[in-house]
Structure 1
Amino acid sequence: MRIEFYDSIINALEEAALEALDATGEQLLTDVTDAQVMPFDVGTMQNDATYVDHSHRANGQVTLLVDEPYARRLYYHPEYNYQTVNNPNAKGLWFEDWANDGKYANKVRENYAAFYKRFGGI
């Protein structure tokens, strides 16, 4: 038996995995925004201060960040009475639905798999 490794194909698949990771992070941001679950007054936190951080991409990690000083307080207090004028589903812990055991966790995994297939040419 003879086994040959094609470095160019392996490298292409590794790059496809990273591209899929980037695309999954961006899709997650879109999904969270579309679900209208973030507290929203004038839209600064959701529209301007929430982004995907790709700085640890090489380690296989992207992070959805909210860069506002009050975001932590709003996130960890689901007991607050959030206004629902702009986002009808506004609540605390708004990312939890997409976390490991959340109701949309499988959607995140499925998105990654679909992006990997697309970018990897599989």
Structure 2
Amino acid sequence: MLLIRRIITGLIGLIGLIYAIYFSVRNMEALPLNMPLLGDFVVPGFVGYLGAFILGAVIVAVFSGFEHVRKSMQLRKLRKELNGSRRQPHKRVRRFLKEDEPVTQPEPSIQSLDSKEF
């Protein structure tokens, strides 16, 4: 389901990029850019739309990467906890495992009963 959603989102983004290229090439408009510390520039609309699309794609890729790393670390932590709980028995069971001596007394053998005089 997640893969289908990503494919649809990618197709919509690609359609938007194609439309932006078509629109800017047909109109050939120039976009004025005022960049701090670099000055004023006038770029064709195509370059502006393409730059905005690439910047958005980079931002989405970075945030998706962070989300993936966060989820994989969380999964790793859960696996460690699960493996640790498999190694150690539950508190209630541990109490019974500590007892080395059997609770019941061994039954007397037939020879021991015969040797006793009643």
TM-score when scaled to structure 2?
A: 0.29
> Which of structures 1 and 2 has the larger relative contact order (alpha carbons within 8 angstroms, sep 6+)?
1
> What TM-score does the superposition give when structure 1 sets the normalisation length?
0.28
Higher helix share: 2
